[in-house]
Structure 1
Amino acid sequence: MTPGTGVTELLAKGELTVRGRIREASNAALHCTVALEDREAACIYKPVAGERPLWDFPDGTLAEREVAAYEVSEATGWGLVPPTVLRDGPYGEGMCQLWIEPDPEPEPGAELLALVDGEEPGEGWKAIGFAEVGEGRTALLVHADDERLRRLAVLDAVINNADRKGGHLLPAAGGRLYGIDHGVTFHTEDKLRTLLWGWAGEPLTTEATEALTRLKQGLEGGGALAAALSELITAAELDATRARVDALLASGRHPEPGGEWPAIPWPPV
């Protein structure tokens, strides 16, 4: 099933059946099907009970942050996060997200990340930084100069994503690109860690400015986005989100690494 009308209702109200566990995930992540009347879809269910404690995020809040990231993504109009809801399930309350199958036949040259020799990224690429590749050699880690990634970079700046790894980029059929795994977001302190630094300091696109303006309006008192987020994150975190949107609009530029927090997640992919 592809995202469309009624998907969030299916995720929220359908019967969840666990099919297996995603063992690579750092927290409990269960591959499920969800069925409602004559509709069925694959999904991922992450119960709060399976979240590992983190030193810098309150316990039991990652599922709500994943849903909050979806709400912000929808408010931009970009649809960068698969439909995600908070619901009860076989192992208690958790987040439930539509399962997106990766594109089985990606076009040649559609890579989003690469390692290249030399000190310059080359045409169509943006530099991230140097990485050790063994035997004392280093290579330049780059990401594609891709408008879909650029939108994700803006979204990450808004939600203060502390963990945008390469494995959290999900190219799907039809040229769609999704970002997944948004549990460590919306902190009040600057914790932006991402591979998508290629546009750091560059002017925001007109499209991004328009999306941020929509977010600002939605985050105002009485706005639909503010109401949705107030059920998912704290008042201080909501205020910090407003401040990040205001700062992006005031500067008109993509943020740069702050220097007080590692700028790139580890491992990066």
Structure 2
Amino acid sequence: MHAADPAVRELLQHGRLDVQGRLVEASNATLFCGIEVNGASAECVYKPVRGERPLWDFPDGTLAGREVGSYLLSEATGWALIPPTLLRDGPFGPGMVQLWVDVEEDSQLVDIVAPDEVPDGWLSVLRAQDHHGDPVVLAHADHQQLQRLAVLDIVINNADRKGGHILHAPDGRVLGVDHGVSLNTDDKLRTVLWGWVGRRLSDEAIDRLGELRALMEGDLAVALAEHITPKEIQAINTRIERLLETAAFPAPSGDWPAIPWPAF
């Protein structure tokens, strides 16, 4: 089932969850499920709230709620950069349910390569050494949808944009997943997508941010208030205003590690 199918939300909200396995590399309980209702079926990820590990710097609300809040903001931009995501009850209690998206084989948009193997047109982010002491480069594609995702990450203050959290679907869409440590009031942006630092935002991004600012004055803020605090909502407004004022991609603040570890 395609993420844009209007029946997806109905399926995610009311379908019967059948737990098929656990994604063991995840730091919080993350269950892979089949979901079915009225003959429609798909696969999804279910993250029960009771499986979340407490985080001292995210004391309010739930990580599941932050995932849903990030999805609401993605939808408000019109870019649809996060798979359909909602809160509902499941086999282990309330949790986040998100449509599973298959990825395009051998179609990475972020990679760690030798300096002479950076693909043409890619943007270098970091030079380092691998465990053998050989030089490597963290780089990513100069891709429009990836750039949109970088803008969204700034808005949601994503503290964990790993390369493995970026999906390149077979139909060409670029999607982000794992947004539980987003929407904090403090500047915690930590991402592999630093290749556009200092560059001017696209006219499209500026227009969308202006529309998002207007939506934050109405129903969008009301919807977000179900998941995050008033201070965190105000911080979103502040980040949007800052982006509109500078009209450029920011540099790392220096107060927080700029790149997640591991990067994938």
Per the TM superposition, whether the score is higher than 0.5 is yes
Matches within 5 A, 1:137-148: 137-148=134-145
Q: 1:47 to 1:31 in 2, by over 3 A?
A: same
Is residue 61–residue 227 contact of structure 2 (8 Å, CA) maintained in 1? no
Partners of 1:37 and 1:173 lie apart in 2 by 27
Partners of 1:198 and 1:40 lie apart in 2 by 39
- 1:38 alignment partner in structure 2: 39
- The alignment-based identity, stated in percent, is 53
Partners of 1:113 and 1:40 lie apart in 2 by 31
- 1:98 alignment partner in structure 2: 99
Q: How far does residue 102 in structure 1 lie from its aligned partner after superposition?
A: 1.2
Partners of 2:93 and 2:60 lie apart in 1 by 15
- 2:219 alignment partner in structure 1: 224
- 2:205 alignment partner in structure 1: 208
Q: Which runs of 5+ in 1 are unaligned?
A: none
AA aligned to 1:224 is D
Is residue 61–residue 228 contact of structure 2 (8 Å, CA) maintained in 1? no
Partners of 1:246 and 1:62 lie apart in 2 by 25
Q: How far does residue 23 in structure 1 lie from its aligned partner after superposition?
A: 1.0
- Kindly indicate whether residue 169 of structure 2 is the aligned counterpart of residue 172 of structure 1: yes
Which of these residues, 240, 244, 247, is aligned with residue 249 of structure 1? 244
Partners of 1:170 and 1:187 lie apart in 2 by 24
Q: How far does residue 7 in structure 1 lie from its aligned partner after superposition?
A: 1.0
- Kindly indicate whether residue 195 of structure 2 is the aligned counterpart of residue 194 of structure 1: no
Is residue 49–residue 60 contact of structure 1 (8 Å, CA) maintained in 2? no
AA aligned to 2:13 is A
- 2:2 alignment partner in structure 1: 2
Q: How far does residue 207 in structure 1 lie from its aligned partner after superposition?
A: 1.1
- 1:72 alignment partner in structure 2: 73
- 2:254 alignment partner in structure 1: 259
Partners of 2:137 and 2:22 lie apart in 1 by 35
Q: How far does residue 96 in structure 1 lie from its aligned partner after superposition?
A: 0.3
Q: Which runs of 5+ in 2 are unaligned?
A: none
Deviations 1:228-267 (A, max 9, x none): 1111111110000011001101110111100000000000
- Kindly indicate whether residue 242 of structure 2 is the aligned counterpart of residue 268 of structure 1: no
Partners of 1:236 and 1:151 lie apart in 2 by 25
Q: 1:89 to 1:115 in 2, by over 3 A?
A: closer
SS in 2 for 1:260: coil
Is residue 103–residue 170 contact of structure 2 (8 Å, CA) maintained in 1? yes
Q: Number of paired residues?
A: 263
RMSD of the TM alignment (CA)?
1.6
Once the two structures are overlaid, the 10-residue window that deviates more, 146-155 or 9-18, is 9-18
Q: Scaled by the length of structure 2, what TM-score is found?
A: 0.95
Q: How far does residue 181 in structure 1 lie from its aligned partner after superposition?
A: 0.3
- 1:13 alignment partner in structure 2: 14
SS in 2 for 1:155: helix
Q: Scaled by the length of structure 1, what TM-score is found?
A: 0.93
SS in 1 for 2:159: coil
